[in-house]
Structure 1
Amino acid sequence: MKKIMRLVVAIMAAILFVQASTGLAQAAKGDQGVDWAKYQGYYGKFGYGSDKFVLAQIGGHNSGGLYDQDTYPTQVQSAIAQGKRVHSYFWWENVFNQATVDQLMNYTMPKVQTPKGSIVAIDFEAGAGNAALNTQLIKGAMQRIKNAGYTPMLYGYKSFLQSNVYLDQIIGQFGTCLWVGEYPDYNVTPKPNYNFFPSMDGVAIFQFTSTYILGGLDGNVDLTGITDNGYTKHDNPVTETPATDAGQAADNTHKSQIEVGNTVKVNFSAQRWATGEGIPSFIKGQSYKVIQVAGDRVLLDGVLSWANKKDVEIISTTTGNSTSGSSYTVQWGDSWWAIANRYGMSMYNLAAINGKSINTMLYPGQVLQVSGTTTTNRTYAVRYGDNLSTIANRLGTTWQQLANRNGIGSPYWIYPGQALVY
């Protein structure tokens, strides 16, 4: 018996050693989550009801210089409203000198809307220079993130990072701080396959797929508990920002108080519309404006279907009704596209009328000049397999007019559940 016990202990020790050497010792933490850029829309999208966290893109620096992501504040709000932990990241491309680093950090850090302690990650996967210089500049930026009271991380693909950064120096200064993507294939992958884990030191978050769900979404697993940073044990932010305040206000609003103009998400657990028909899977987890309320039912814009209040979750209490004559007062969560859509014009024309571009930041209380008055728009909900040409043919218009009306820069940038105005 003693020999058997010694053998069991030896085997367990060997397993623990192998796990430690491959970075899997703490993988049992296991919370899964997603990351969002502009392609996930103004309120983002989770893959499954069990997701616990999200990392939302602020903007960053690319080959064209600095840029802003206007979906970021409402994505933070949306995640908080759904009781999730939300963190931030920004794009790092063609950053070759300290002056550009300073410009990028001065531009980006004041825009962070996640709580102190939360992750602020550098997304480095393109536009690389000399490895020694990359390392020096990235270390300086991560230290600035840390000094500001956030948790610095570095994201990238294994081969790219190993080719362009001295990762031992990054890990030596900041500990287990890497967020690494490595995919076995492009099949729908709801759970991580640790046979394809990027065997390297310092990995805290493993991005295991870009096809978490049908249609595409990045799936991530927290290996160390790093996504708890900035949040209490009940997933409440430890410090407040305007975006987290807005999210908590929505989270604390009872469903009986849903109003026209609020934004709601259809729950993953929802089965049937209020009229009895089954709810398609691509509707679940999507967000829609409420255009009518009747008792315990709400009519959703874009799909023009009645949902039971018990089957939706409030993610924005903004009603966006502040219009007056030929001017409009910007509300929290507004975008150039949303405002232009309300007035039946393109966002490019709206920006031009106001002497700005669609990349100009909007802020609550800002007054914009608009042409015309509020119109009643017809909408079409994008379905799987759709493209702009087939939709345009179905609606009796052209894909160019449809793209212009909805502010779509590429005919391929549509997604299931998206509401197109025609």
Structure 2
Amino acid sequence: MLPFSSNASLAKSEAKYAVSSAKAILAFMDEIKAAGYQPLLYASSSVLQNNINTPSIVKKYPNSLWVAAYAISGRVDKPNFKYFPSMDGVAIWQYTDNWKGIFTDDNVTILPLSISGSAVSQAPSNSNTKHTGTIMYKSYVYDGNGKRTGEVYKAYVSVTYYVGKTKLSNGKSAVKIGDNKYTSWHVIS
């Protein structure tokens, strides 16, 4: 529900803006779908609740909202579901812009995403499947026991890695990048 102004002419103007914005968004989402992709609408919860006729978006594209709504500012290690945005159609929730203190966004996928609308089953990851990706931050290399090897990757370096996270002996979660070589930073495919 949009909180319109108490002035009738301003309320009409705001309503026209919300409706025309939704029409433009829907036209854009239609083009995305026509190209074979699943359309999503990303915005803050405030914008979705106050500036867009969001129900018309969700009516045509159910569960298509990617909502940014932060409970607090500063370091956040995991989502606080008590602060989950209370609105229909949320598929992805961006709960922070400072995940684990490294100033990067983090999201929770609330629903399985599929162009067909049916549930998507996740294929089991094969730890022997190699991919090439980019290490986004300076990254230390660890052995299987979680001890630094002395090797360091600079930011934005291309590496070959194996699909899936691995738990090292010291409890750290890491990505395998070679024989007994692991890195704890995110690798972007």
**TM-score where L is the length of structure 1:** 0.29
Which string of whole-angstrom CA distances, capped at 9 and with x for unpartnered residues, describes residues 347-395 of structure 1?
Answer: xxxxxxxxxxxxxxxxxxxxxxxxxxxxxxxxxxxxxxxxxxxxxxxxx
Which string of whole-angstrom CA distances, capped at 9 and with x for unpartnered residues, describes residues 175-210 of structure 1?
Answer: 111111111112322211011111111111111111
Q: 1:190, 1:219 within 8 Å by CA — same for their partners in 2?
A: no
- In the other structure, the counterpart of 2:58 is 171
Q: Secondary structure at the match of 2:42?
A: strand
Offset at residue 130 of structure 1 (A): 2.2
Q: 1:151, 1:229 within 8 Å by CA — same for their partners in 2?
A: yes
Matched, 1:146 2:21: no
Measured at CA, do residues 210 and 284 of structure 1 come closer, stay the same or move farther in structure 2, by a change above 3 Å? farther
Q: 1:190, 1:212 within 8 Å by CA — same for their partners in 2?
A: yes
- In the other structure, the counterpart of 2:148 is 273
Aligned partner letter, 2:147: R
Offset at residue 219 of structure 1 (A): 1.1
Measured at CA, do residues 221 and 264 of structure 1 come closer, stay the same or move farther in structure 2, by a change above 3 Å? closer
Q: 2:75, 2:99 within 8 Å by CA — same for their partners in 1?
A: yes
**TM-score where L is the length of structure 2:** 0.60
Offset at residue 289 of structure 1 (A): 5.6
- In the other structure, the counterpart of 1:106 is none
Matched, 1:310 2:153: no
Based on CA coordinates, which of the two structures has the bigger radius of gyration? Answer: 1
Measured at CA, do residues 192 and 311 of structure 1 come closer, stay the same or move farther in structure 2, by a change above 3 Å? same
| Percent of pairs with identical residues | 28
- In the other structure, the counterpart of 2:17 is 130
Aligned partner letter, 1:215: I
- In the other structure, the counterpart of 1:362 is none
Measured at CA, do residues 309 and 223 of structure 1 come closer, stay the same or move farther in structure 2, by a change above 3 Å? same
Q: Secondary structure at the match of 1:130?
A: helix
CA distance in structure 2 between the partners assigned to 1:169 and 1:141 by the alignment: 14
1:27-176 superposed matches below 5 A: 130-176=17-63
Matched, 1:216 2:86: no
Q: 1:207, 1:220 within 8 Å by CA — same for their partners in 2?
A: yes
- In the other structure, the counterpart of 2:122 is 233
Measured at CA, do residues 289 and 177 of structure 1 come closer, stay the same or move farther in structure 2, by a change above 3 Å? closer
User: Which structure 1 segments of 5+ residues have no match?
Assistant: 1-128, 237-248, 254-261, 291-306, 317-422
CA distance in structure 2 between the partners assigned to 1:222 and 1:268 by the alignment: 29
Measured at CA, do residues 151 and 130 of structure 1 come closer, stay the same or move farther in structure 2, by a change above 3 Å? same
Q: Secondary structure at the match of 1:221?
A: strand
Offset at residue 168 of structure 1 (A): 0.8
- In the other structure, the counterpart of 2:83 is 196
- In the other structure, the counterpart of 2:157 is 288
Q: Over aligned residues, Cα RMSD in angstroms?
A: 3.8
The structure in which a higher percent of residues are strand is: 2
Offset at residue 286 of structure 1 (A): 5.5
Tell me the matched-pair count.
143
Aligned partner letter, 2:181: D
The structure in which a higher percent of residues are helix is: 1
1:395-410 superposed matches below 5 A: none
Offset at residue 264 of structure 1 (A): 6.3
Q: Secondary structure at the match of 1:152?
A: coil
CA distance in structure 2 between the partners assigned to 1:286 and 1:229 by the alignment: 34
Which string of whole-angstrom CA distances, capped at 9 and with x for unpartnered residues, describes residues 26-79 of structure 1?
Answer: xxxxxxxxxxxxxxxxxxxxxxxxxxxxxxxxxxxxxxxxxxxxxxxxxxxxxx
Offset at residue 310 of structure 1 (A): 2.5
- In the other structure, the counterpart of 1:322 is none
